[in-house]
Amino acid sequence: MVEFAGWEMPVQYQGVIEEHLAVRRRAGLFDVSHMGEVEVSGAGALDLCQTLTANDVARVQVGQAQYNLLLNESGGAVDDIVVYRLESDHFLICVNAANTDKDFQWIRGRSEGKAEVRDTSSRYVQLALQGPLAEKILQRLTGLALAQIKPFHFSFGEVSGARCLVARTGYTGEDGFELYCDPDRGEALWNSLMEAGRDGGLQPAGLGARDTLRLEKAYPLYGHELDDTTTPLEAGLEWVTKLSKVSFLGREALLRQKREGVARRLVGLEMTAPGIARADYPILKEGEPIGRVTSGTRSPTLGKSIALGYVSAAEAVVGNGVEVEIRGRSVAARLVALPFYRREGAGKTS
Amino acid sequence: MEFPEGLKYTKEHEWVLVEDRIATIGITEYAQQELGDVVYVELPEVGEKIVKDDPFGAVESVKAVSDIYAPVSGTVIEVNDTLPDSPETINDDAYGDGWMIKVEMSDADDLKDLMSAEEYAEYVDQQKEEEDEGEEESGEE
């Protein structure tokens, strides 16, 4: 167990690689109750969400979820978030644990009394059931027609007797669900899910596997690929950034950056010589620094050392041969297309 | 957890097997468990000199890098060259096939401040207690 943002978190149960492969091949269950929840409601709720985020929240129907970014005036990421539209004027925003209070203050401080903003993190346990068998396992415990819940959609219903928000979302690159329920029901729900998944090989999975899974899929992790000084244009999140929607905080800065061109870009790296690139290691081109690694690991699925990092825009070309400085040695790597891993049959929206 | 008698141990969780002036060095069962799946090992080359208490290599799990510290000073005379291709051997057999290097010691006095199996077992218990108090801060998301 480790402490993270005030939460006691399991890094691993059986071992990171075993848990990682269980999620890719069968299913894994994560307790991600540390994630924060901020709810925005009232007549001005949509406007407030629109003003503070990059994606177009107006396109989100009730029962739908959307990956989005809270931006500051400079276009930097306050946080990356998932917005669930519970009702037309009621949004549940799932935020990163370490940013919960920052985000809550950020949103509330800009509500101008037109929407109610509440930190409801303590009202939810969040469990993530992820992997190709997720639907089959979950279906044993609920009357909800799970096959009809499309990616980035959700329904309310009972799972093993506990009322849950059941969303087809996740952070692993596999099919799966995230369940939000009352903390009093959390432990029983966990146990029911583990029981229902036992014969399918469901494994409990910790923070370690969550990190390697998201990294293979090149999902950003706040504090690594994103922070207050990185913009979505630099981070490869232009698809999240709807510059043509109504005005939003950071839009002017992003328009300017788009016009002038970004100075650096997030890229994928694969080591071509033995070694593992880790966060903060320098990235070099013929000995000259061109950037820095933000996350890196040995990929359990691919059996290769992979990393994300920022390099100067001119060098951000797939195929480019570079080096990573690992404990004083230059180790060969090359830029590769992202994501590193894409599940078979998955569309681009996953 | 097993800490074989006859080995010497360090606070950084390396073990040493001494035969005459030759020290065989690896990491302990406790270290491999704490690391989790070992996926990469960086070792010195034969002929390199290592210095007591300085890092001589690194062992990496999926999640993190840990330095390996030299329990003694001396010259590397043999390296376990099966480890780069099968680093998981360190998890499977930390005291046997998971050995890392053999060193010809330059000063036998280096052994004096290493721990016995009994002392090390006690030291590990202390470490576990500290860990249970939840004072360690790592892990990110």
- Residue ranges of domains in chain B: 8-120
Residue B33 tokens read as 């468990």
| Closest-CA residue to A150 (of A175, A172, A124) | A175
**E strand segments, A96-240:** 116-119, 125-130, 154-159, 162-167, 176-181, 203-204
Give start-end residues of each CATH 2.40.30.110 domain in chain A.
263-338
Does B137 sit within 8 Å of A2, measured CB to CB? yes
Q: What percent of chain A has pLDDT over 70?
A: 98
In this model, does residue B131 exceed pLDDT 80? Answer: no
Q: What percent of chain B has pLDDT over 70?
A: 94
Q: Is residue B48 less than 8 Å (CB to CB) from chain A?
A: no
Residue A166 tokens read as 């059941």
From chain A, the residues in CB contact with B140 under 8 A are 4, 211, 221, 223-224
Placement of tokens 């199996």 in the chain: B117
Task: List, for residues B6-26, the tens digit of each pLDDT value.
Answer: 999 999 999 999 999 999 999
Does A208 sit within 8 Å of B141, measured CB to CB? no
pLDDT at residue A213, as a whole number: 98
| Closest-CA residue to A72 (of A94, A51, A48) | A51
From chain B, the residues in CB contact with A16 under 8 A are 36-37, 61-63
DSSP tally for chain B: helices H, then strands E: 3, 9
How far apart (Å, rounded) are the C-alpha atoms in residues B79 and B82?
A: 9
From chain B, the residues in CB contact with A296 under 8 A are none
Task: List, for residues B46-96, the tens digit of each pLDDT value.
Answer: 999 999 999 999 999 988 899 999 999 999 999 999 999 999 999 999 999
| Helix then strand then coil, % of chain B, to nearest 5 | 25, 35, 45
- The CA-based diameter of chain B, rounded to the nearest angstrom, is 49
Query: B134 pLDDT band (50/70/90 cuts)?
Result: low
Query: B125 pLDDT band (50/70/90 cuts)?
Result: very high
Task: List, for residues A244-285, the tens digit of each pLDDT value.
Answer: 998 999 999 999 999 999 999 999 999 999 999 999 999 999
* CATH dotted code for B8-120: 2.40.50.100
Which of B37, B40, B60 has the CB atom closest to A15's CB atom? B37
Domain A35-118+231-261 has CATH 3.40.190.10: no
Q: Is residue B139 less than 8 Å (CB to CB) from chain A?
A: yes
Can you tell me the mean pLDDT for A116-132? Answer: 98
- The ipTM assigned to this model is 0.79
Which residue of A19, A271, A327 is the best one to mutate when testing the B interface, meaning the one whose CB has the most B CBs within 10 A? A327
- Indicate the DSSP class of residue B110: G
From chain A, the residues in CB contact with B63 under 8 A are 11, 16, 208, 211, 297
pLDDT at residue A346, as a whole number: 61
Who contacts B128 (Cβ-Cβ below 8 Å, separation ≥6)?
Answer: none
In this model, does residue B112 exceed pLDDT 50? Answer: yes
Can you tell me the mean pLDDT for A189-218? Answer: 97
The radius of gyration of chain B from alpha carbons, rounded to an integer in Å, stands at: 15
Does A211 sit within 8 Å of B141, measured CB to CB? yes
How far apart (Å, rounded) are the C-alpha atoms in residues B45 and B64?
A: 23
How far apart (Å, rounded) are the C-alpha atoms in residues A26 and A277?
A: 29
From chain B, the residues in CB contact with A8 under 8 A are 134
Does B139 sit within 8 Å of A3, measured CB to CB? yes
Query: A323 pLDDT band (50/70/90 cuts)?
Result: very high
In this model, does residue A81 exceed pLDDT 70? Answer: yes
* CATH dotted code for A263-338: 2.40.30.110
How far apart (Å, rounded) are the C-alpha atoms in residues A213 and A12?
A: 13
Does B136 sit within 8 Å of A327, measured CB to CB? no
Domain A1-33+124-220, CATH homologous superfamily name and number: Probable tRNA modification gtpase trme; domain 1 (3.30.1360.120)
In this model, does residue B137 exceed pLDDT 60? Answer: no
Query: A6 pLDDT band (50/70/90 cuts)?
Result: confident
Q: Is residue B34 less than 8 Å (CB to CB) from chain A?
A: no
